[in-house]
C-alpha cells in the first residue's frame, strides 16, 4: 500500500502541450478518480505513471521512490485497460498467470495467486475457458484478475468499464468497490463517467484541458463546486445556469435580476467591487414548482424516472431549465408553471467561472 505523487509534471506532443503543470498526491490506500471529458489529459497522466509515455518535465514518485525514468516493469503498478487485451489462444488461468511466468515466479506460487484471485473475482469455474467463451463482464474480471495476481503497489484503471453495458457497469462498480475494501490498495481510476467516479472514489480530481479544476470528495464536488466547469460536469442532469444582472445588495447578500426581470436575493456575499458577468447556478432539485415562484415557464418535456420526476421548462427568453417535479400535481406538456429557488442551494459564478456560495 503505497502513495503516488506527481510533481510539476508536463507533457508535450510536438508543439502541442497537453499537460502544462500537474502536481497531485494520492495517499496510500486511497481510491482516486481522474474525472474529465475526452482530451483533458487524464489517460496521458495514467500512461506516464505506468511508464508507457515519457514525461516532458517534472517527476513522479510511487511509495516515495522516484520512478520517472524507470521501465514499466520496475514501477510496482498494474494497469487495467479499456480494452481487455486478453490472449485469445490462452485459457483464463494462463492469461492470469502469464505475467508471473515471464518474471520466473515458481509454479506453485503462481498457482496460489491465480486461485486466490479467481476466488475473489468469482472466476473459479471459468479458469479453463478461453476469452471467446466469456461475456464482456467476465473478460473484464479476468483483466482485473491478471492485475491482481501481481500484488502491485497500486492499480491503474483506464476506463475499465466503458465497453460494458449498463447492467454490467453497475455490477463491475460493485466488484471494484468490494475489491478495494478487501485489499486497501491504492487505486487510480481514469473515467469520463461521473457515476463511476462518485460511487467508487474517496476523492475526485476534476480535470479540464490538462489542469485540475478541483480536488474534492464526491459530494463536496457536487454540493460545493469550485468552478462553473465542475458544476456543469458533475451531476446528472447538469446544473442549470442563468445569466443574471447584479443589483444593490439587500444586507443579506447579493441580489440578482433574473431573466424576465424578477429580483432574487441569493444570500451570497460578494465583494462590492465585483464586476458584471454573473451567472446563477441552481441544481434541478433546488428548482421547484411553486405558486409564487419567480421564474415563469412552459413545460416542454417530462421525465418520469420512478424515484423522481424532472420537468424541462422553457423560459420566456427561450432557454431551458430542468426542475424537480416531485410532490407536485401531475403536470402535462404545455402547462404553464412558476419555478421557485431553494435559497440555501444557490451558486453564483463570476466572469472567470469561479464559484461563490452562501456561507
Is 201 part of any domain? yes
Say yes or no: 66 and 167 in one domain.
Answer: yes
HEC string of the chain equals CCCEEEEEEEEEECCEEEEEEEEEEECCCCEEEEECCCCCCHHHHHHHHHCCCCCCEEEEEECCEECCCCCHHHCCEEEECCCCCCCCCCCHHHHHHHHHHHCCCCHHHHHHHHHHHHHHCCCHHHCCCCHHHCCHHHHHHHHHHHHHCCCCCEEEEECCCCCCCHHHHHHHHHHHHHHHHHHCCEEEEEECCHHHHHHHCCEEEEEECCEEEEEECHHHHHHCCCEHHHHHHCCCCCCEEEEEEEECCCCCCCEEECCCCCEEECCCCCCCCCCCCEEEEECHHHEEECCCCCEEEEEEEEEECCCCEEEEEECCCCCEEEEECCCCCCCCCCCEEEEEECHHHCEEECCCCEEEECC
Q: The domain that contains 252 carries what CATH number?
A: 2.40.50.140
Say yes or no: 215 and 257 in one domain.
Answer: no
Is 350 part of any domain? yes
Residue where a domain stops, chosen among 186, 209, 227 = 227
Say yes or no: 256 and 175 in one domain.
Answer: no
Is 243 part of any domain? yes
Dist. CA 51–CA 162, nearest whole Å: 23
Dist. CA 258–CA 343, nearest whole Å: 14
pLDDT at 84: 76
Say yes or no: 185 and 78 in one domain.
Answer: yes
Say yes or no: 214 and 92 in one domain.
Answer: yes
Say yes or no: 253 and 110 in one domain.
Answer: no
Say yes or no: 80 and 32 in one domain.
Answer: yes
Sign of the CA dihedral running 81, 82, 87, 92: positive
Dist. CA 357–CA 206, nearest whole Å: 19
Say yes or no: 181 and 299 in one domain.
Answer: no
List CB contacts of 148: < 8 A, sequence separation 6 or more.
Answer: 78, 117, 120, 121, 179
CA geometry: angle 186, 6, 53, nearest 5 deg: 95
pLDDT at 343: 87
Dist. CA 350–CA 276, nearest whole Å: 8
Residue where a domain stops, chosen among 199, 227, 255 = 227
Dist. CA 76–CA 59, nearest whole Å: 16
pLDDT at 273: 62
pLDDT at 314: 94
Is 287 part of any domain? yes
Say yes or no: 194 and 242 in one domain.
Answer: no
Domain that holds residue 328: 237-357
pLDDT at 175: 80
Say yes or no: 175 and 40 in one domain.
Answer: yes
Is 60 part of any domain? yes
Say yes or no: 287 and 208 in one domain.
Answer: no
Residue where a domain stops, chosen among 227, 253, 283 = 227
Is 154 part of any domain? yes
Q: Is the pTM of this model over 0.75?
A: yes
Task: Provide the residue-wise pLDDT of the chain in tens; the chain has 359 residues.
Answer: 689 999 999 999 999 999 999 999 999 999 999 999 999 999 999 999 999 999 999 999 999 999 999 998 889 898 888 777 888 999 999 999 998 888 888 999 999 999 988 888 888 899 999 999 988 888 888 888 888 888 888 989 988 887 777 777 787 788 888 888 888 899 999 999 998 999 999 999 999 999 999 999 999 999 999 999 999 999 989 999 999 998 888 777 889 999 888 999 998 888 766 667 899 999 999 999 998 899 999 999 999 888 888 999 999 888 999 999 876 677 889 999 999 999 889 999 999 999 998 76
Say yes or no: 297 and 211 in one domain.
Answer: no
Q: The domain that contains 86 carries what CATH number?
A: 3.40.50.300
Distances (CA, A) of 205 to 32, 33, 41, 188, 218: 7, 6, 12, 10, 9
Count of the separate structural domains present in the chain: 2
Is 232 part of any domain? no
Amino acid at each position: 500500500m503505497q502513495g503516488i505523487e506527481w510533481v510539476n509534471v508536463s507533457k508535450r506532443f510536438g508543439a502541442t502541450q497537453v499537460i502544462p503543470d500537474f502536481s497531485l498526491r494520492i495517499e496510500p490506500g486511497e481510491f482516486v478518480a481522474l474525472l474529465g471529458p475526452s482530451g483533458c489529459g487524464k489517460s496521458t497522466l495514467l500512461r506516464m505513471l505506468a511508464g508507457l509515455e515519457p514525461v516532458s518535465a517534472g517527476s513522479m514518485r510511487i511509495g516515495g521512490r522516484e520512478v520517472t525514468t524507470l521501465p514499466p516493469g520496475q514501477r510496482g503498478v498494474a494497469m487495467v485497460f479499456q480494452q481487455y487485451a486478453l490472449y485469445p489462444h490462452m485459457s483464463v488461468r494462463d492469461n492470469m498467470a502469464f505475467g508471473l511466468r515471464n518474471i520466473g515466479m515458481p509454479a506453485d506460487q503462481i498457482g496460489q495467486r491465480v486461485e486466490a484471485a479467481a476466488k475473489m473475482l468469482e472466476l473459479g469455474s471459468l479458469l479453463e475457458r478461453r476469452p471467446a467463451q466469456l461475456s464482456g463482464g467476465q473478460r473484464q474480471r479476468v483483466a482485473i484478475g491478471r492485475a491482481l495476481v501481481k500484488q502491485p503497489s497500486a492499480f491503474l484503471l483506464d476506463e475499465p468499464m466503458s465497453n460494458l453495458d449498463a447492467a454490467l457497469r453497475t455490477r463491475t462498480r460493485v466488484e471494484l468497490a468490494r475489491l478495494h475494501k478487501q485489499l486497501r490498495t491504492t487505486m487510480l481510476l481514469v473515467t469520463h463517467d461521473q457515476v463511476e467516479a462518485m460511487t467508487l472514489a474517496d476523492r475526485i480530481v476534476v480535470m479540464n484541458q490538462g489542469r485540475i479544476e478541483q480536488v474534492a470528495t464526491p459530494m463536496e464536488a457536487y454540493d460545493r463546486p469550485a468552478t462553473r466547469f465542475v458544476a456543469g460536469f458533475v451531476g446528472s442532469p447538469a446544473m442549470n445556469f442563468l445569466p443574471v444582472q447584479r443589483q444593490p445588495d439587500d444586507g443579506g447578500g447579493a441580489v440578482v435580476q433574473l431573466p424576465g426581470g424578477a429580483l432574487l436575493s441569493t444570500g451570497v456575499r460578494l465583494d462590492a467591487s465585483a464586476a458584471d458577468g454573473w451567472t446563477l447556478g441552481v441544481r434541478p432539485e433546488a428548482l421547484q414548482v411553486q405558486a409564487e415562484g419567480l421564474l415563469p415557464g412552459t413545460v416542454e418535456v417530462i421525465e418520469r424516472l420512478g424515484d423522481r420526476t424532472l420537468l424541462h421548462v422553457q423560459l420566456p427568453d427561450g432557454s431551458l431549465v430542468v426542475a424537480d417535479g416531485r410532490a407536485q400535481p401531475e403536470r402535462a406538456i404545455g402547462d404553464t408553471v412558476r419555478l421557485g429557488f431553494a435559497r440555501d442551494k444557490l451558486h453564483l459564478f463570476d466572469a472567470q467561472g469561479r464559484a461563490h456560495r452562501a456561507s
